[in-house]
């Protein structure tokens, strides 16, 4: 078991890691749309989805994996009305169409509009 850590994705805002590799599997923590260079979040679901996807990809890359090896994602939306807009951006990154759950939740950390986590192969 190995902790994944990269400065190309935001650091954890609580007592957890960005992800782990276990055997030939990668498990990422949920990624909200914080820009790791600035610590800020862009406005709007399109920009926030883009940043969340970039953060997940950075963690996968640090682990030695990539989007094409993602098996399952879990996605959280602050507003289910953002589902179509979220999907349009998400589809650019997860082209292999992994299994997915996508749910609306009451709130997300720091007022984010979306959060994405995944399970992938190395």
pLDDT band at 12 (very low <50, low <70, confident <90, very high): confident
Query: 75 catalytic, yes or no?
Result: no
Average pLDDT, the chain: 96
Answer yes or no: CATH 3.40.1110.10 is held by domain 2-121.
no
Residue 57's nearest CA partner among 93, 90, 4 is 93
Sequence spans of domains, the chain: 2-121
Residue 14 φ then ψ, to 5°: -160, -170
C-alpha Rg value of the chain to the nearest Å:
13
Q: Token digits for 67?
A: 């989007």
Q: Are 38 and 64 in contact (CB under 8 A)?
A: no
Q: Which of 53, 102, 114, 118 is catalytic?
A: 102
Q: Residues 73-119: pLDDT tens digits?
A: 999 999 999 999 999 999 999 999 999 999 999 999 999 999 999 99
In this predicted structure, the answer to whether residue 70 has a pLDDT above a threshold of 90 is yes
- The phi and psi torsions of 36 (rounded to 5 degrees) equal -65, -20
The predicted model scores a pTM of: 0.95
What's the mean pLDDT in 46-73? 98
């Amino acid at each position: 078991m190995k902790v994944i850590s990269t400065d190309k994705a935001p650091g954890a805002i609580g007592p957890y890691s960005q992800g782990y590799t276990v055997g030939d599997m990668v498990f990422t923590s949920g990624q909200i749309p914080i820009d790791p260079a600035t610590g800020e979040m862009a406005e709007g679901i399109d920009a926030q989805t883009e940043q969340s996807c970039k953060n997940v990809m950075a963690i996968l890359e640090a682990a030695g994996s990539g989007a094409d090896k993602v098996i399952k994602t879990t996605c959280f939306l602050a507003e289910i009305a953002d589902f179509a807009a979220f999907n349009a951006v998400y589809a650019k990154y997860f082209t292999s169409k992994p299994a997915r759950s996508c749910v609306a939740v009451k709130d997300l950390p720091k007022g984010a509009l979306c959060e994405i986590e995944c399970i992938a192969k190395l």
